[in-house]
């Protein structure tokens, strides 16, 4: 991995550190082979050049998602990349096709929901961010496409997250290939639910992990030919049996023990359990509970999981009974017995637990005691029973507990496999291997030995796979790789498992000899492998040995190797349990006969495990492998802590560094031509002049720099280890020279700018001083001119004030004199006017009194007459109603009465009109009299004025002294007399007026009473009319029934009899009277008058020669067929409304289908619509039917009312309104021309009509969804081109090629064209604007979801250039929305709010200056913290190299995300597309108007059909 570097001052390097593993720094001094490095931590170190590794200065601050893209593929580069990504919660990273998963120790639910699985479904590997779903999808796609089984190997140390990764893989495979099977359970459900069961019985808390798997698991998921899960199997390896009896602090035993102790009280009482601290197998550790885990809830979840995987309730009870027996078994203690070296239960407590164990296992108490305290030795001659001492009895007790628990676990695995079921016909499978990682502790026993053997075998398989992938890469690029050496770990595998001289073989040999001990086994190992380079003996131990594994040296302690390797069951134990009365317990053990047959051949754990491992590798060799390496970032199991040395050790143990070593043996640095030219083109700029061929440019560039040993592939440049550093060194030198030139130019520019500023400042100071002097002189001149102006204005003010005082005095005197004169004149005029008003009021009072009397007399006369007429009519009607004569006579009589009443009402109306005319004439007479009086008044006034004028003239001629005493007295007396007379007259008139008003009130009361009586009479008349109509309807029904009976009797008579009577013609009837079986009515009206005037018998005789009419049902079916044949064709639109919908509605209304109890018309229409929309790809056809169905639904919504909901029209309250109603309902008005009917009529709908409305609503929603999905489908391909545009555009720009039709800008134009074309189609078919608006609203929401999700999942989309590109496309969409107008676009533009805000954030240049509050409040208020964090961490600027937000903002977001994940389940940061129906029938009905259908013309084809004459109305 070492990359030889050429040290240059200023270069960035990595140096090794004892605490942090690796530190980055800058070279500050070079002394031969030693360099001095200033680290970023502040430490200064001196190292040799060979121990330093180059650092890429252009590496993204957030790391790369695939470490093969690193410029320097070495240990510090890999470690730094993982740490950078872990700091931003990017826990997954690729190394080629290997996924490295770093445990975050926090909940990240947004990464694993169904939205995320949907995104990775079908996506190419590496196209989206690294994820286990991508590995699972790649395996699934390879299996489907190539028909080859796949395997996904998940490895890592305890606590790294292997089990969780396995769960995610199985979840995704179940998502892709899920299919239900019998008994209501699915295979994938059982596979997923088997995890809690196996975790409960096979997982435990260790020092490094709270849920560590203490067994290996290989899940085989089988698929059928269609890619659906058809079966599954689970295989387990090496359960840690010793943990049942031995637990070290602070670890825990298996979870199931603690769950059972926390079970519900009834279960605890049944199994005689208590707190875990009361059991010996659990109280060896002080840890009884786990943080954040409720054992009682876990117990319920485990029970539920057992139900799903097919374990019955009885079996569950037996399982937990065995678990409880193991706990009680551990509490049995032993003491010395009466016999020598014998043992017996220690005390009452031990006897109690012994009895409980016997009760739970359903065996004999004495037999259980003997199996624990005795051994039976069978010899050739006799059987010897041997007592065991207390220590040996305790060992026997623990052996029984371990074997019972081990058999129970094996039974669970077999039960799960049998319940899930395997598909014998399955040809392909996907295996998920959840295996323990490499382990190296202070004390390493037999379990660690087997675990590390497994990892050695898998590492060999992994190395072969990596080398194979390297070969495929080189072959694909057509480069020479034959000289690359591959070194594997076969020597270690031979040391362990080779026969007959391997460690396992020696261990089995030692186990077969009873006298062998771990000391003798260790000495045998020392003698056998003393010269082996991978085997060594520790200096301070006589029984330990050390093996040099690929991940490091591990020292093993041999004390318990022999005991743990023995795989046998004590005969006494097996006999005891086989004799159990519980079938479950006895079934866990084979019979004594079978066991004795097997005992002839030695069996060991190591040999059995090696055999299982060999079978596993054979299975893996027949599959295509995929690898997931899980890494634990720290040992404290807390988030946001990344321990470099710990992670580095795990990378070595996981084989990642071994894979890098294999890669470094060949060509570790691989750069695409475009990136290579972009990075190193400055070393030889002349090779790029006028050249667009990147391959030739790379060759010329490498030749120019005289580099050797490289390879040119088809798409990449392959460099040997160290060559990238050499090129970077030369590049740094070129950049350094360029920087010197830039600095020189910048300093020159700064000096010139400083001089220009100084010169400009001097000029400005001079101009300011000159301006100040000029302003001072100007200020003096201005003050002098101001003084002169002030004096002039003061003098003017004083003169004006004196003049105004004189003026106001003169005006005041004149005003007083004129006012006195005017008041005298006004007093005289008021007296004159008062006299005139009194005269006019008196005359008006006389005229009004006369008019009032006349009007009162007329009203009284009218009321009396009308009351008398009404009473007479009422009496006659009552008498007529009591008669029980023939129906026809009653009908005719009632018709005559109604006509007579109508005539009387008309007569009364004419009389009232005459009375009104008389009143009008009288009013005119009064008006003429009033005018004459006014003329007389005017003449009198003129004469009075003349007399006054003559008197005034006389006064002028005659002296005043002679006139005063004579004229004044006479005039005063006359005026006084006249006033008194007038007052008396007014008083008398007032008295008469009061009397008249009293009489008028009495008369009005009488008239109101008579009016009420008349109203009552009219209401009774209305009731009689309704009764008459009902009688008419009954009569018409009887006639129709008689006709139908006659037709049936005629058809049933012989031919001879038929010849004697004339044939019955079809009887015409009105639409209101003719009824058919299905509730329909025909529209023939020609014979309506004949039916009213002639009886059925008469018509039977008059039309004897006519042919027998066709059945009504056939005619109805013909009409329906004609209607359907017509509307199936595209009959277009009329006045912007669909003709087909209007025609269907008119026909249904005329046929009264809505009121029918049974009819097939609606079914025919629904079938017709369903068949017409089968071609879902034709948008024009679908839009036509959407317009028709929505219009028909609108008409039905306005017309149909459920039975009993049609409100009765209120009777008019005025007399004129009641008279009008009477005229309309009278028979005499039937022959008058009827007014135009309304387009929409409310009818009482029966069940078929209401069902048809619901079905039609469903079809409107279905057609709407089809059109919307067609548009989305059309846009999805264009959006995918827009999403991939950054990658294609980058390549095109670097190659210098023209874009043409495939340019990124053309993709947006294609989207605009698709939107416009679709809108034109909808407009041409007159689709309601509300539906168009909703289609485009949901489509724009789909665009927002696709673009925004691609931004969060694809790093190449989260760039500055892509932000500008998407922003230009959004501007095009905004312009389209403006052109489409609010009527059709609606709020579509608002649906793009997520992508608009995200793009607006991407194109900001100075993001590092923006605070978190500004982002959340101003820039991106709608985006969540997870979304903002994702964008900020993925962002990079490929144009201007601008930075993302500051580290403080990133830290704030991370804190908020941590709080969200701890408090509640966070929502996915991905958006979800909404495919619901966003409108209701009420919304559709409110958007249309009934008046829009008034001018719609029915189909021309039906207008020519005689059966559809009603359409002419």
Which residues are tagged catalytic? 158-159, 163, 209, 212-213, 437, 439
Report the interhelical angle of 656-665 vs 446-477 (nearest 10°).
30
Of 377, 379, 361, the closest CA to residue 369 belongs to: 361
**1052 vs 1058: CA distance, rounded Å:** 9
387 burial (CB, 10 Å; 0-12 / 13-18 / 19+) is middle
Pairing status of strand 1137-1138 against strand 1133-1134: antiparallel
**654 vs 215: CA distance, rounded Å:** 18
**603 vs 511: CA distance, rounded Å:** 10
Task: Provide the 10 A C-beta neighbour count for residue 1511.
Answer: 19
Query: Containing H/E element for 233?
Result: strand 229-237
Report the interhelical angle of 1215-1225 vs 887-957 (nearest 10°).
150
Rounded to the nearest angstrom, the gap between the alpha carbon of residue 1477 and the centroid of all alpha carbons in its chain is 13
Tokens matching residue 570: 């004590």
Of 799, 406, 359, the closest CA to residue 581 belongs to: 359
Cα separations in angstroms, 28 against 8, 17, 76, 937: 9, 18, 20, 128
Report the chain's C-alpha Rg in angstroms.
54
Pairing status of strand 98-102 against strand 92-95: antiparallel
Are residues 1140 and 1181 in contact, defined by beta-carbon separation less than 8 angstroms? Answer: no
CA end-to-end span of the chain: 95
Residue 544 DSSP SS3? strand
Are residues 36 and 62 in contact, defined by beta-carbon separation less than 8 angstroms? Answer: no
Q: 404 φ, ψ to 5°?
A: -65, -45
Q: 500 φ, ψ to 5°?
A: -95, 5
Task: Provide the 10 A C-beta neighbour count for residue 1496.
Answer: 20
**70 vs 75: CA distance, rounded Å:** 11
C-alpha triplet 1212, 1215, 1218: angle, nearest 5°: 45
**1299 vs 1301: CA distance, rounded Å:** 6
> Which residues is 223 bridged to in the sheet?
229, 428
Report the interhelical angle of 1112-1127 vs 1139-1150 (nearest 10°).
170
Q: What is the dihedral of CA 480, 485, 486, 487, to 10 degrees?
A: -170
Cα separations in angstroms, 431 against 214, 221, 448: 19, 6, 24
Of 417, 453, 434, the closest CA to residue 218 belongs to: 434
> Which residues is 548 bridged to in the sheet?
553
Are residues 1310 and 1370 in contact, defined by beta-carbon separation less than 8 angstroms? Answer: no
Cα separations in angstroms, 949 against 415, 831, 954: 139, 17, 9
DSSP state of 388: -
Are residues 1096 and 1042 in contact, defined by beta-carbon separation less than 8 angstroms? Answer: yes
Cis before residue 740, ω within 30 degrees of 0? Answer: no
- What are the residues whose beta carbons fall under 8 Å from the beta carbon of 1146, sequence distance 6 or more? 1498, 1510, 1511
Q: 412 φ, ψ to 5°?
A: -60, -45
Are residues 354 and 365 in contact, defined by beta-carbon separation less than 8 angstroms? Answer: yes
């Amino acid at each position: 991995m070492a990359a030889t570097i050429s040290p240059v001052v200023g270069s960035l390097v990595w140096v090794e550190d004892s605490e942090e593993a690796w530190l980055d720094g800058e070279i500050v001094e070079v002394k031969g082979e030693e360099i001095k490095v200033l680290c970023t931590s502040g430490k200064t170190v001196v190292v040799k050049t060979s121990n330093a590794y180059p650092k890429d200065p252009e590496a993204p601050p957030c790391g790369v998602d695939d470490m093969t893209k690193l410029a320097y593929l070495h240990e510090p580069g890999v470690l730094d990349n993982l740490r950078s990504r872990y700091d931003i919660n990017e826990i997954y990273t690729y190394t080629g096709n290997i996924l490295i998963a770093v445990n975050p120790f926090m909940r990240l639910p947004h990464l694993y929901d169904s939205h995320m699985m949907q995104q990775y479904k079908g996506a190419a590997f590496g196209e989206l961010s690294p994820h286990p779903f991508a590995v699972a999808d790649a395996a699934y796609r390879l299996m489907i496409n190539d028909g080859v089984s796949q395997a996904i190997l998940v490895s890592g140390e305890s606590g790294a997250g292997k089990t969780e990764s396995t769960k995610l893989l199985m979840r995704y495979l179940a998502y892709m290939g899920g299919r239900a099977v019998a008994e209501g359970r699915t295979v994938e459900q059982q596979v997923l639910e088997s995890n809690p069961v196996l975790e409960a019985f096979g997982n435990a808390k260790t020092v490094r992990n709270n849920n560590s798997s203490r067994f290996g698991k290989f899940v085989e998921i089988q698929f059928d030919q269609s890619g659906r899960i058809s079966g599954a199997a689970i295989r387990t390896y090496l359960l840690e049996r010793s943990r049942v009896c031995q637990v070290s602090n602070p670890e825990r035993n298996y979870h199931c023990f603690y769950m059972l102790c926390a079970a519900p009280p009834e279960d605890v009482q049944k199994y005689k359990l208590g707190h875990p601290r009361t059991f010996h197998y659990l109280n060896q550790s002080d840890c009884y509970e786990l943080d954040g885990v409720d054992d009682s809830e876990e117990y319920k979840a485990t029970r539920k999981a057992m139900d799903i995987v097919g374990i019955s309730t009885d079996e569950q009870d037996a399982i937990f009974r065995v678990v409880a027996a193991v706990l009680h078994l551990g509490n049995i203690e032993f003491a010395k017995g009466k016999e020598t070296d014998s043992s017996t239960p220690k005390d009452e407590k031990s006897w109690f637990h012994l009895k409980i164990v016997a009760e739970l296992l359903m065996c004999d108490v004495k037999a259980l005691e003997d199996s624990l305290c005795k051994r039976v030795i069978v010899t050739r001659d006799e059987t010897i029973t041997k007592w065991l001492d207390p220590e040996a009895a305790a060992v026997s007790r623990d052996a029984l507990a371990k074997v019972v628990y081990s058999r129970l676990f094996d039974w669970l695995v077999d039960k799960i496999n049998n319940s899930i079921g395997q598909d014998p016909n399955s040809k392909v499978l996907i295996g998920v291997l959840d295996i323990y990682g490499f382990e190296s502790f202070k004390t390493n026993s037999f379990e660690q030995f087997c675990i590390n053997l497994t990892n050695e075998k898998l590492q060999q398989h992994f190395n072969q796979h990596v080398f194979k992938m390297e070969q495929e890469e080189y072959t694909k690029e057509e480069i020479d790789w034959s000289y690359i050496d591959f070194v594997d770990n076969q020597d270690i595998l031979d040391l362990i498992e080779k026969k007959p001289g391997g460690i396992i073989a020696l261990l089995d040999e030692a186990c077969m000899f009873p006298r062998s001990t771990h000391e003798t086994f260790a000495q045998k190992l020392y003698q056998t492998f003393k010269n082996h380079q991978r085997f060594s003996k520790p200096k301070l131990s006589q029984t330990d040995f050390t093996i040099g594994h690929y991940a490091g040296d591990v020292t093993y302690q041999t004390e318990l190797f022999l005991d743990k390797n023995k795989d046998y069951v004590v005969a006494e134990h097996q006999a005891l349990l086989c004799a159990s009365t519980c079938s479950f317990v006895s079934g866990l053990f084979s019979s004594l006969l079978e066991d004795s047959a097997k005992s002839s051949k030695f069996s060991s754990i190591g040999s059995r495990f090696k055999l299982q491992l060999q079978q596993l590798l054979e299975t893996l060799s027949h599959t295509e492998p995929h690898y997931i390496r899980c890494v634990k970032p720290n040992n404290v199991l807390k988030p946001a802590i990344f321990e470099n040395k710990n992670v580095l050790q795990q990378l070595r143990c996981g084989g990642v560094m071994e894979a890098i070593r294999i890669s470094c043996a060949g060509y570790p640095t691989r750069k695409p031509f475009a990136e290579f030219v972009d990075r190193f083109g400055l070393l030889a700029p002349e090779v790029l002049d006028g050249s667009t061929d990147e391959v030739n440019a790379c060759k010329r560039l490498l030749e120019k720099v005289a580099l050797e040993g490289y390879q040119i592939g088809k798409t990449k440049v392959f460099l040997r280890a160290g060559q990238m550093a050499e090129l970077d060194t030369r590049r740094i030198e070129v950049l350094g020279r360029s920087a010197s030139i830039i600095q020189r130019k910048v300093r020159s520019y700064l000096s010139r700018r400083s001089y220009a500023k100084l010169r400009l400042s001097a000029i400005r100071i001079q101009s300011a001083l000159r301006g100040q002097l000029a302003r001072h002189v100007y200020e003096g001149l201005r003050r002098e001119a101001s003084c002169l102006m002030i004096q002039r204005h003061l003098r003017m003010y004083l003169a004006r004030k004196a003049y105004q005082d004189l003026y106001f005095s003169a005006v005041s005197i004149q005003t007083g004199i004129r006012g006195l004169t005017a008041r005298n004149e006004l007093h005289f005029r008021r007296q004159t006017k008062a006299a005139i008003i009194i005269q006019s009021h008196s005359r008006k009072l006389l005229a009004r009194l006369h008019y009032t009397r006349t009007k009162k007399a007329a009203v009284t006369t009218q009321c009396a007459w009308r009351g008398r007429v009404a009473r007479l009519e009422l009496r006659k009607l009552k008498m007529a109603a009591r008669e029980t004569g023939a129906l026809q006579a009653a009908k005719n009589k009632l018709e005559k009465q109604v006509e007579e009443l109508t005539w009387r009402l008309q007569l009364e109306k004419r009389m009232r009109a005459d009375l009104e005319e008389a009143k009008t004439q009288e009013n005119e007479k009064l008006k003429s009299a009033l005018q004459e009086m006014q003329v007389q008044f005017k003449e009198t006034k003129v004469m009075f004025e003349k007399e006054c004028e003559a008197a005034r003239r006389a006064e002028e001629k005659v002296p005043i002294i002679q006139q005063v005493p004579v004229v004044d007295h006479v005039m005063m007396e006359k005026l006084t007399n006249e006033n008194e007379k007038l007052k008396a007259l007014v008083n008398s008139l007032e008295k008469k007026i009061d009397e008249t008003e009293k009489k008028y009130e009495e008369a009005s009361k009488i008239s109101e009473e008579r009016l009420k009586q008349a109203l009552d009479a009219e209401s009774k008349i209305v009731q009689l009319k309704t009764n008459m109509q009902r009688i008419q309807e009954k009569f018409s029904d009887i006639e129709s029934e008689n006709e139908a009976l006659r037709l049936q009797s005629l058809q049933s008579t012989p031919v001879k009899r038929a010849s004697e009577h004339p044939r019955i013609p079809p009887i015409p009837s009105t639409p209101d009277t003719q009824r058919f079986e299905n509730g329909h009515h025909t529209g023939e009206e020609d014979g309506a008058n004949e039916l009213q005037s002639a009886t059925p018998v008469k018509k039977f005789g008059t039309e004897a020669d006519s042919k027998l009419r066709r059945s009504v049902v056939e005619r109805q079916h013909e009409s329906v067929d004609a209607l359907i044949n017509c509307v199936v064709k595209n009959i277009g639109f009329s006045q912007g409304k669909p003709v087909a919908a209007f025609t269907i509605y008119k026909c249904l209304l005329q046929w009264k289908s809505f009121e029918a109890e049974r009819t097939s018309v609606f079914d025919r229409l629904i079938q017709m619509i369903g068949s017409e929309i089968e071609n879902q790809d034709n948008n024009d056809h679908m839009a036509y039917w959407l317009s028709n169905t929505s219009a028909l639904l609108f008409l039905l919504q306005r017309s149909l009312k459920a039975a009993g909901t049609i409100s009765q029209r209120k009777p008019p309250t005025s007399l004129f309104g009641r008279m009008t109603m009477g005229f309309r309902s009278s028979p005499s008005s039937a022959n008058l021309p009827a007014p135009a009917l309304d387009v929409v009529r409310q009818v009482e709908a029966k069940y078929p009509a209401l069902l048809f409305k619901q079905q039609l609503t469903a079809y409107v929603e279905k057609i709407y969804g089809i059109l919307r999905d067609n548009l989305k489908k059309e846009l999805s391909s264009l959006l995918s081109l827009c999403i991939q545009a950054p990658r294609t555009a980058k390549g095109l720009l670097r190659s210098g090629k023209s874009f043409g039709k495939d340019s990124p800008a053309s993709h947006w134009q294609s989207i605009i064209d698709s939107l416009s074309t679709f809108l034109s189609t909808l407009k041409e078919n007159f689709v309601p604007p509300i539906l168009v608006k909703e289609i485009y609203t949901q489509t724009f929401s789909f665009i927002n979801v696709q673009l925004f999700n691609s931004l969060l999942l694809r790093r190449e989309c989260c760039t500055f250039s892509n932000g500008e590109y998407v922003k230009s496309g959004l501007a095009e969409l905004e312009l389209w929305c403006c052109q489409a107008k609010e009527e059709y676009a609606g709020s579509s533009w608002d649906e793009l709010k997520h992508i608009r805000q995200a793009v607006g954030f991407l194109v900001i240049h100075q993001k590092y200056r923006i605070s978190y509050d500004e982002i959340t409040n101003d820039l991106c208020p709608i985006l969540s913290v997870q979304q903002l964090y994702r964008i900020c961490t993925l962002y990079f600027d490929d144009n201007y190299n601008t930075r993302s937000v500051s580290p403080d903002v990133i830290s704030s977001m991370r804190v908020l995300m941590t709080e969200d994940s701890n408090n509640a389940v966070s929502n996915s940061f991905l958006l979800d597309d909404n495919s619901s129906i966003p409108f209701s029938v009420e919304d559709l009905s409110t958007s249309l108007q009934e008046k829009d259908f008034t001018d719609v013309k029915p189909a021309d084809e039906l207008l020519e059909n005689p059966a559809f004459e009603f359409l002419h109305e």
